A and B are shown apart, each in its own frame.
Chain A
Amino acid sequence: MPLPALPERAIVIGARVRDWRAAVTRAGDALQRAGVTRASYTQRMVRTVEDHGAYIVIAPGLALAHARPGRDVLTEGLSVVTLAEPVSFGHPYNDPVRVVLGLAVRSPERHISAVAELANVFNDESVIASIAAAERPADVRALLRS
């Protein structure tokens, strides 16, 4: 199964944020702007980190922000936010974060298949640095399609 859609409106290049909360919020705002989610999904993504810690920083420099499927997910989608200045999430090994992915899907089953697809893309970890260095949304889309 393919990755959820990544519309250009859901890609933010070189965002300036002061902390992890703002970084996750930008990823949520991007999903909302693309018509994928409502604002409450963004709040739930932030709460996931508050409740469970920074484990969403799954690899050096990369955070995978998401919450459980819910009625505030209108359709499935991805967002990508690259940060002008990296921020700390409080992860013991993988800070600082340069790239935040936002993921929203409508069922647990689809969530699993979307994450599996992301695992395949990011098994080549050089993709993280390439996304962080991307200058245009089209470059990010091309990297995630690879």
Chain B
Amino acid sequence: MKILTVCGMGIGTSILLKMNTEKALKALGASADVEASDIGSARGAARTVDIVLISHDLAEQLGDVPAKVIEIQNFLSVDEISQKLAPEV
């Protein structure tokens, strides 16, 4: 399974989300490749992943993609990420 985390520039918030997604996967006993991306490349990158984790604002910019898009409210909350990923992994 592949997961993409997205932010505006691909080096800040998306990295934070990637780190916390890896912690969430560990808590769930699941494994997946997690990559971070900026919103500009996310549309292309989203074609090759199963799940996109993204903020509400940027989800609107991303539009329709083949991957399942999950909005994350609190990027620091490993609990929120775990709950939202649990049905998918």
Contacts and interface: CB of A to CB of B under 8 A. Distances in A.
Given A52-B39, A55-B7, A123 B78 contact: yes
B11 A119 contact: no
B25 interface: no
B84 interface: no
Interface in A99-146: 103, 108, 111-112, 115-116, 118-120, 122-123, 125
Interface in B63-89: 73-78
Interface residues of B, number: 23
Contact of B11 (A51, A108, A120): A108
B57 interface: yes
Given A53-B57, A55-B55, A59-B76, A103 B12 contact: yes
Contacts of A125: 74, 76-77
A111 B11 contact: yes
B9 interface: yes
Nearest to A68: B9
B75 A58 contact: yes
A3 interface: no
A50 to B, nearest CB: 10
Q: How large is the interface on A (under 10, 10 to 19, 20 to 34, 35 or more residues)?
A: 20 to 34
B4 interface: no
B73 A119 contact: no
Interface string A51-82: 11111101110101011100000000000000
Given A48-B9, A116-B15, A123-B76, 7 more contacts: A64-B16, A94-B73, A112-B15, A115-B11, A115-B15, A115-B19, A119-B19
Interface of A: 48, 51-56, 58-60, 62, 64, 66-68, 91-94, 103, 108, 111-112, 115-116, 118-120, 122-123, 125
11 contacts: A53-B55, A54-B57, A55-B13, A55-B58, A59-B77, A64-B16, A68-B11, A92-B73, A93-B74, A115-B19, A123-B78
